[in-house]
Structure 1
Amino acid sequence: MIEFRNVTKTFQTKGQAITAVEKVSLTVEAGDIFGIIGFSGAGKSTLLRLVNLLEKPTEGEVLINDKSLTDYTKKELRQQRRDIGMIFQNFNLFTSRTVAKNIAYPLELAGVAKAEIKHKVEELLRFVGLSDKAKHYPEQLSGGQKQRVGIARALATSPRILICDEATSALDPNTTADILQLIQKVNKELGITVLLITHEMQVIEAICNRVAVMEEGRVIESGTVFDTFTNPQHATTKRFISATEQDLPSAHLLEKWSGSQLYRLIFKGDKASDPLLSQATRKHQVDVNIIYGTVKELQQRFFGNLIVSFEGEEQKIQAVLQELRQAIEVKEVAIA
């Protein structure tokens, strides 16, 4: 659907070359909700602007449905841009237009007949749950309602791709959850591929099926959300994950266990619901103390993280560990 092939984007600023995106290669499949996460200045927004050629790549190419955007004629590019809807952090609504008129705007630009515009706007208002707000102005709406208007406007031209630029960053947690559910609805019911950028791992975890992590213009890690979340390879990815899940107790609490050897047990998928720990310790007559941990759902699969200590004969404890390692990931916890 969308493919970045070794894409680099460099800007010239006061005689100095600034590389915002460097040698990025990614593929977004049709039907994906693909998240791009990174801290401020990572190059996320620049990468998005390359998708509709608002910025042209300095090197490499961006393809949509196997055709490079730089090969499009001006007419083809205009049509392609109508196939890409965009929603923004600050909503970008016209304050002088009603909700209905804001949604109608891209259809007016496209020269669509008034009767068709009226029908389309009513349909979209129902879809985003704002049928009763058609005659309201943006200043009369909450932040979540404004973003719903932004989503409806982005859908007005029946796009195949929806780009979300920090679409929930200005919203409170409850409203964020509502908007993310609406984006999922767009993806599932309308079959629209979603490409979103964010600096919040919670957003990625909630709705994305694939993710790429960016730092200093490069993609440093990518893959399925489940694999990336449960087995991060890069320090930056681990920083994002630690913002949503603390996998170890604080150093202060760990000090209380300075005389014990602690282990981190990581359960994934079906293993998280199997009684592996109780079976192994009972079999080898070892006591287990669960000190810290969580079991959560991620992408409709379980992911468990437990910090434990064992009591018993050393030989029997090693037998438990050996048995557990055959089924799950076991790591020793270093206590400073």
Structure 2
Amino acid sequence: MIEFKDVSKTFHLGKREVQAVKNVSLTISQGEIFGVIGFSGAGKSTLLRLVNMLERPTSGTVWMHGVNISTLSAKELRAKRRNIGMIFQNFNLFNARTVAGNIAYPLKLAGYSKQKIAERVNELLQFVGLEDKAKDYPDQLSGGQKQRVGIARALATSPDVLICDEATSALDPDTTSDILRLLKKVNRELGITMLLITHEMHVIQSICDKVAVMEDGEVIEFGNVFETFTNPQHPTTKRFISSVQQDLPSQEVLREWQDKSNNSKLYRVIFTGEITNNPVLSQVTKRHDVDFNIIYGSVQELQAQLFGNLLVSFTGESANVNQVLTELKTLVQIEEVNIHES
């Protein structure tokens, strides 16, 4: 559907060169919600602008539906962009136009008849839940309502790709959840492929199928969201995931526990899939005459699968504890936690 092949983008700022994107290769499949996450300056927004050629790659190629869009003429590119909708962080609505007028704008540019425009605008207002706001102006709307207008406008010309540039970062948590549900509805009911740029890991967790993590212009980790959350490889990815999982208590709580437990070792145990429903810890420790204590953790749902992340200590004879650890490693992910580094 969308493919980046060894794409780089270099900006020249006076005598200085800035490599915003470095040798990125990614494939986004038809109908996917694909998330790109990174801290400020990671290169994710530049990558997004390469999809619709608002920026052209310095090297490498960008493909869409089997067409190398890097080589399209200005006229061909204008036609291609009608198949790409854009949703912006700050809404980018025309304050002098009504809600209906904002949604109608791309349809007018595309040469639709007045009747077709009216039909399409009414259809989209119903889809995003703003039927009663057609004659209102942006200044009369809440942030969430403005973003709904932005989504309706992006859908006006029936694109098959939707680009979301930090679409929820200007919204409060409850409104963010509403907008994410609407975006999932767009993907599910209309089959539109989405490329979503964000610095918020909970957005990736909520709606994305796959995720690419960027740092300094490079993709440092890429994969299925469930696999990335349950087994992150890069330290930056682990930082993002920790921001939403809260997988460690505070240092004060850890130190207090360590003092009371005579400096016992602490282990992170990660359960995924069906084994989350089984009493694995209880069964294994009982077999080897070892007690366990859950210090911290949770079980949550991620992409319709259960994911357990627990901090556990074990008490018993050293040889027995080692047997427990050996057996658990065949069933779940388990690793010792360095409290001081954490």
State TM-score, norm by structure 1: 0.97
- Over aligned residues, Cα RMSD in angstroms? 1.1
Listed one character per residue, the Cα deviations across residues 167-221 of structure 1 (whole Å, up to 9, x for unaligned) are 0000000000000010011101000000010000000000001000111111111
How many residue pairs end up in the alignment?
Answer: 336
- Contact 2:57 2:70 survives alignment (8 Å): no
Query: Counterpart of 2:49?
Result: 49
Q: 2:300 aligns with which of 296, 307, 314?
A: 296
Q: C-alpha distance in 1, partners of 2:171/2:337?
A: 37
Give the SS at the match of 2:53.
Answer: coil
Query: Counterpart of 2:330?
Result: 326
Query: Counterpart of 2:114?
Result: 114
Q: C-alpha distance in 1, partners of 2:291/2:104?
A: 67
Listed one character per residue, the Cα deviations across residues 267-300 of structure 1 (whole Å, up to 9, x for unaligned) are 1111211111111122223221111111111111
- Contact 2:300 2:308 survives alignment (8 Å): yes
Listed one character per residue, the Cα deviations across residues 137-161 of structure 1 (whole Å, up to 9, x for unaligned) are 0000000000000000000000000
- Percent same amino acid among aligned pairs? 64
Aligned pairs for 1:155-304 (under 5 A) are: 155-255=155-255, 256-258=257-259, 259=262, 260-304=264-308
Q: C-alpha distance in 1, partners of 2:306/2:268?
A: 16
Give the SS at the match of 1:244.
Answer: helix
Amino acid paired to 1:61: T
Q: Which stretches in structure 2 are left out of the alignment for 5+ residues?
A: none
Query: Counterpart of 1:150?
Result: 150
Shift of 1:75: 3.1
Shift of 1:234: 0.9
Q: Which consecutive segments of 4 or more residues in structure 1 shift more than 4 A?
A: none
Q: C-alpha distance in 2, partners of 1:44/1:261?
A: 39
Q: C-alpha distance in 1, partners of 2:337/2:62?
A: 44
Listed one character per residue, the Cα deviations across residues 229-269 of structure 1 (whole Å, up to 9, x for unaligned) are 11111111111111111222222222232521222111111
Matched, 1:83 2:87: no
Give the SS at the match of 1:103.
Answer: helix
Shift of 1:77: 1.4
Q: C-alpha distance in 2, partners of 1:284/1:233?
A: 32
Q: C-alpha distance in 1, partners of 2:123/2:267?
A: 55
Give the SS at the match of 2:12.
Answer: strand
Q: Which stretches in structure 1 are left out of the alignment for 5+ residues?
A: none
Amino acid paired to 1:334: N
Shift of 1:311: 2.0
Q: C-alpha distance in 1, partners of 2:211/2:62?
A: 18
Listed one character per residue, the Cα deviations across residues 46-69 of structure 1 (whole Å, up to 9, x for unaligned) are 111110111111100100012111
Shift of 1:71: 3.0
Shift of 1:304: 0.8
Q: C-alpha distance in 2, partners of 1:109/1:161?
A: 19
Query: Counterpart of 2:23?
Result: 23
Aligned pairs for 1:130-149 (under 5 A) are: 130-149=130-149
Amino acid paired to 1:246: Q
Q: C-alpha distance in 2, partners of 1:161/1:250?
A: 42
Q: C-alpha distance in 2, partners of 1:76/1:131?
A: 35
